Amino acid sequence: MFEEKSVFADSKNSKEFSDFSKIIKDGIFADSKNRKFLDSPIKEKQLIGDLHIHSRFSRACSKAIDFDNLVKYAKIKGVDLLGTGDFTHPTWFSEIIKLREEKGILYYQDFPFVISGEISLMYTQDGKGRRVHLVLLMPSIEVAKQFNKWIIQKGRVDYDGRPIFGFSCVELMDAVKSISSDIEVIPAHIWTPWFGLFGSNSGFNSIKQAFQDKEKNIHSIETGMSSDPEMNWKISELNNKTILSFSDMHSFWPWRIGREATIFSRIERYRDLIKQIRENKILGTVETEPAYGKYHYDGHRACDFSCSPDKTKELLGKCPKCGKNLIIGVENRVEELTTQEIDENKNQKPYYKLLPLHEIISLTTGTSLATKKNWEIYNPLIGKFGNEFNIVLKISKEDLLKSLPKNEKLVELILKNRKGKIKVKPGYDGEYGVAVLGEKQGRLF
């Protein structure tokens, strides 16, 4: 069972905290408007899962991504369960099938993985070009082999770990159901303009529009970095969908892996995981502040211009510098598709809103993420407190000050981050957001 093998990389230095279910029941949330933004630590025996990742065979991804590095940095981060990513790529799949399989869970050095991958569908429907990214979870190596046998008939899979195909969401779902009802299909980063199912430039206005009569087989969506659960609660079609978060990481570094994740109860087999997803039994999610995402605001990167949805309306959707149409971001698109007020009585899950620890350290040092100076602060903290999630979520102010006696500013930022209180200048048109510390700004990610 996971709780015996890998629940938090090192729990020796962490204290026992109150039960997560009690936190939910008692409503201990940071937001004064009574929204479900969580401000209390996770119970030790629950799992943090990051199931949307990529291998070294996906474009624009680190060539050093292998199972050794994935396991090493997952433990450093405090992630307990990973997706394999890119299972459709033949070379990566040849490495995946070497893992030990038990009840649909794969193990590398006793660290658990679920077979996962992302595919890109690019096709025309109702006279409009569609581009939709989907995450797939596989219940076993055997089923993954069957799916790969089918999909290789549709196009090449050896050139990219995130292959592109010209068939529709409906055709994919037909194939999935003919292979195994245990395959899970999850619309990835659902709001991003170019490749999200709800994207402003190439998406749909509803899951029903994309999957038609197969919509009932979509049980969940992935928020993506530019949205959080609260934004998705405004869409009535999502009332019966589970809201998941995963990193979509392109490298294994701790500021990438687990930057967004989902909190699960204990899992012994693949079907335990799928049951939680399909029945909305997850415990919560880890999110970045949506403004950090590359597509939160409207704008034009080439013109160095961004603006809020209200300003876009004033500008009639045109860039004031070049006169072309602005790229409409996630916040604007959510407003466009909103169909309901947020109902606090619905089965909505709490969530953390966090910045990775390296980002916080970088704000205090004024250096880029991967500098030696930042690692010299980061590594001793990991050595003492076990993993990053322990530090950003659990360790008391007193214990942090003892470990950082000459760095009260960093302690202050860790605690502010824990409450989601670090301000952000929103990202837009492919540009990440920027942290704002008083008058000073620090570029993130």
Across 189-218, average pLDDT:
97
Q: pLDDT at position 43, please? A: 55
pLDDT tens, residue by residue, 250-301:
999 999 999 999 999 989 999 999 999 999 999 999 999 999 999 999 999 9
Q: For the chain, give every domain's residue range.
A: 2-291, 356-443
What CATH superfamily classification does 2-291 receive?
Answer: Metal-dependent hydrolases (3.20.20.140)
Q: pLDDT at position 328, please? A: 97
- In degrees and rounded to multiples of 5, residue 377 shows phi and psi of -90, -40
Cα–Cα distance measured from residue 68 to residue 82, given in angstroms and rounded to the nearest whole number = 13
Cα–Cα distance measured from residue 272 to residue 263, given in angstroms and rounded to the nearest whole number = 13
Rounded to the nearest integer, the mean pLDDT of the chain is 89
pTM (two decimals) = 0.89
Other CB atoms within 10 A of residue 90 CB: 12
Computed on alpha carbons and rounded to an integer, the radius of gyration of the chain in Å comes to 21
Cα–Cα distance measured from residue 195 to residue 131, given in angstroms and rounded to the nearest whole number = 5
pLDDT tens, residue by residue, 40-62:
555 556 899 999 999 999 999 99
Confidence check: pLDDT of 39 > 80: no
Cβ-contact 233, 226 below 8 angstroms = no
DSSP 337-387: H--S---TTS-PPPEEE---HHHHHHHHHTS-TT-HHHHHHHHHHHHHHSS
Return the bridge partners of 441, or none: 436
Q: Which position has the token pair 């294994």?
A: 252
Task: State both tokens at 3.
Answer: 């709780």
pLDDT tens, residue by residue, 408-444:
999 999 999 999 899 889 999 999 998 877 644 444 4
**C-alpha to C-alpha distances, 438 to 260, 410, 424, 425, 441, nearest whole angstrom:** 26, 15, 11, 12, 8
